[in-house]
Amino acid sequence: MLKVGLTGGIGAGKSEVSRLLVGHGAVLIDADRIAREVVEPGTPGLAAVVEAFGTDVLTAEGALDRPKLGSIVFSDPERLAVLNAIVHPLVGARSAELERAAGEDAIVVHDVPLLTENGLAPLYDLVVVVDAGPGTQLDRLVRLRGMTESEARARMSAQATREERRAVADLIVDNDGPLAELEPQVRAVWAELTRRAGARR
């Protein structure tokens, strides 16, 4: 099994890269999706979040109000650390479970938004960073995700710097351009991943 950490700043296009890698045959473990699952209604994760942040972070239906929680934690590093201390161990346990189920010959891609910030690079055989300039990130967040510019800048500044992400990368995918320029790069990354997986066998 080859364990790959895939990361990139918000708006860099990591989801598109993970989608293309799955198309080539990667097994994807999406930390963001798991992070949502572990705080669904009725889970111990949601109970712990409510205990830490109060019932204000719930919707009328009893689900987690993500925008409300986001507005609390993204402007307050201490509150963010409290949230991460609840969610990250749960995500880690579920990710390990999915990895075990993938099989010996699999190339398992862990899509981990905060890989750099949380010092997780050593957990993987190699790290792929999807890189885009801050201007590109900002444009995508405002135009495609409907954020205000100040919201987008706050999210970006809560993450590692571009230089910090590039420093942990074994492979870098440059995603400042259109999809047509992304696909050949991902093909080349996949070729390298299969080469490394073969060498390990």
84-102 confidence digits (pLDDT tens): 999 989 998 999 999 999 9
Q: What is the pLDDT of residues 27-73, one digit of tens each?
A: 999 988 999 999 999 999 999 999 999 999 999 999 999 999 998 99
DSSP string, 44-95: HHHHHHHHHH-GGGB-TTSSB-HHHHHHHHTT-HHHHHHHHHHHHHHHHHHH
Geometric angle at alpha carbon 43, from 40 and 48, rounded to 5°? 100
Domain 2-200 top-level CATH class: alpha beta
